[in-house]
Chain A
Amino acid sequence: MEYSNPKIPEGINTTVEHPLKEFFILSVGILGIIFCAVIILSLAAEKLAVYVPFKMEQDLIPEIWTQTKPETETIRQTREYLQSLSDRLANYMQLPDDMEITVHYMDEDTVNAFATIGGHIFIYQGLLDELDSENALAMVIAHEMAHVYHRHPIIAMGRGVVIGLLLSAIAGASGDLFVSQIVSKTGMIALLNFTRDQEREADITALTTVNGLYHHVAGTNDLFRALMATHDPESIEPPLFLSTHPLTQDRIDALVEYARKKGWDAKVDLTPIPQYLR
């Protein structure tokens, strides 16, 4: 009996293919598929979410928002001022009857304002500090109200649920932390297009509303300009308002152009902001 250990050729138990080739095919393919899936699901969510009755949206909000909280005189005064401004704007926005806007005032330094489900709008003192006139403030509130009017918060929520499920399913299957991060980042980038479109839509509605209230559009871009000027877009931490509201020069230009086309006046004295907002 002869025993020997002959040489076995290489490459039988391994795949002979350049690793970079596999890398490129897989990453381009997968990211492309995710991108498309996110866009398709977003469109579907957008079309379906508007059929959710506003009443149901109101039922979804946490109870704490609707409770009356103890507040100081200044806070109450500020909140009521913001609420009345929003009520005045609501007359010019043709909000459906059941769509009720509640303004919440947050006495915090965060430079932010946002709208959420159930017609609740949050405005922070940090943002008020950046404002020079009531017109600029009206633009911010009208912008957030326009989000509610266009049902953006519920659309975002529906989309968030659907896409969150999709992405976590895909990411879970990969079993690798960084792959799942890349997957969710791609999803976010795909979503960004939608948020940009929503911002534009809200901007135009807000501008129309502000023009309805004041019969001019002066000062509406002041806040955006001020934020752009004081905060370097490359800085590590931009104001929160800018990260939730992707703001570009294009957007300001679009607003100016829209007002010009409509023949709305942009050079009028501004309404001053009440002193207690300082």
Chain B
Amino acid sequence: MLLTTLEYVPGKTINKHLGLVQGSTVRAKHAGKDIMAGIKNIFGGELKAYTELLQESREEAIERMKEQAQATGANAILNIRFSTSSITQGAAEIYTYGTAVILE
């Protein structure tokens, strides 16, 4: 599965567009990490626990998007975009979407 944020894949022909595929997930860290992040918030700096949380969520969202694309029979996803929203306190909601295509 080829993933790209481009509109096209240089040197490859798109045979078929299979519409929008999406992946999303909502995840949270346990209370201990939330508390540590709260303390870290006093001093500033990178919140490792949350970086990790968002990264894990993003990976899962991509996995799910790939799964959707595979189900439609695509072999590439073009023009991928991400969006992050906080649906509830302490949880990360990651959304990713793109166009599933069949490349030559």
Contacts and interface: CB of A to CB of B under 8 A. Distances in A.
Chains A and B touch (C-beta atoms under 8 A apart):
yes
Nearest to B30: A173
A100 to B, nearest CB: 41
A169 B19 contact: no
Interface in B24-47: 24-25, 30-31, 34-35
B71 A169 contact: no
Nearest to B66: A12
A12 B31 CA distance: 27
Given A2-B15, A2-B17, A169-B35, A12 B90 contact: no
Interface in A1-39: 1-6, 8-9, 12-13
Nearest to A170: B31
A105 B24 CA distance: 65
A145 to B, nearest CB: 40
A175 interface: yes
A77 to B, nearest CB: 54
Contacts of A9: 68, 71
A9 B69 CA distance: 10
Contacts of B72: 6, 8
Given A12-B68, A13-B23, A175-B89, A6 B31 contact: no
Nearest to B29: A173
Interface size on A, as a range, is 10 to 19
B90 A1 contact: no
A112 B19 CA distance: 73
Interface size on B, as a range, is 20 to 34
Given A2-B17, A3-B19, A5-B19, A12 B64 contact: yes
Interface of chain A, main secondary structure: loop
B14 to A, nearest CB: 7
Contact of B71 (A3, A5, A8): A8
A112 B2 CA distance: 75
Contact of B21 (A8, A169, A170, A176): A8
Contact of B17 (A4, A170, A175): A4
B48 interface: no
A175 B29 CA distance: 13
Nearest to A2: B16
Interface in A166-225: 169-170, 172-176
Contacts of A13: 22-25, 64, 68
Nearest to B20: A5
B35 A173 contact: yes
A173 B30 CA distance: 8
Of A5, A170, A172, A173, chain B has the most CB atoms within 10 Å of the CB of A173
Interface in B56-101: 64, 67-68, 71-73, 88-90
A40 to B, nearest CB: 16
A6 B64 contact: no
Contacts of B14: 1
B18 interface: yes
Interface of B: 14-25, 30-31, 34-35, 64, 67-68, 71-73, 88-90
Given A3-B19, A4-B17, 14 more contacts: A1-B14, A1-B15, A2-B15, A4-B18, A4-B19, A6-B73, A8-B68, A9-B71, A12-B64, A13-B22, A13-B64, A173-B34, A173-B90, A174-B31
